[in-house]
Amino acid sequence: MKFIIPIISTVILFSGCARSIADIDISHADKSCVRQCTMTYSSSISLPVLNTMAMNRAADSYEVCVKTCEQK
């Protein structure tokens, strides 16, 4: 029982902390540009060792990339 509580606490602490790119508005951007941003994002999160901070940075980079895309 002593070991279960710290494990559960750690799981709760780290679950759901990473930012999702699903919340980023891509409706205004050129589709080919968004595709390139998505490919860059996918390659950056495909690394074998990722933590929440790295995933948040990748999502931030994706958002900046989408904002630099031309309007439709």
* Model pLDDT for residues 7-61, shown as the tens digit of each residue: 655 555 555 567 889 999 999 999 999 999 999 999 888 876 667 888 889 999 9
Q: What is the model's pLDDT at position 20?
A: 86
Query: Crossing angle of helices 52-67/31-45, nearest 10°?
Result: 170
Q: Is residue 3 part of a domain?
A: no
Q: Which domain holds residue 44?
A: 25-72
Q: Is residue 54 part of a domain?
A: yes
Q: What is the model's pLDDT at position 15?
A: 53
pTM: 0.71
Q: Is residue 14 part of a domain?
A: no
Q: Is residue 61 part of a domain?
A: yes
Instruction: Yes or no: say if 24 and 60 are a contact pair by the CB < 8 Å rule.
Output: no
Q: What is the model's pLDDT at position 53?
A: 82
What burial class does residue 38 get, using C-beta atoms within 10 Å of its C-beta: 0-12 exposed, 13-18 middle, 19+ buried?
middle
Q: Which residues pair with 71 in a beta bridge?
A: 29
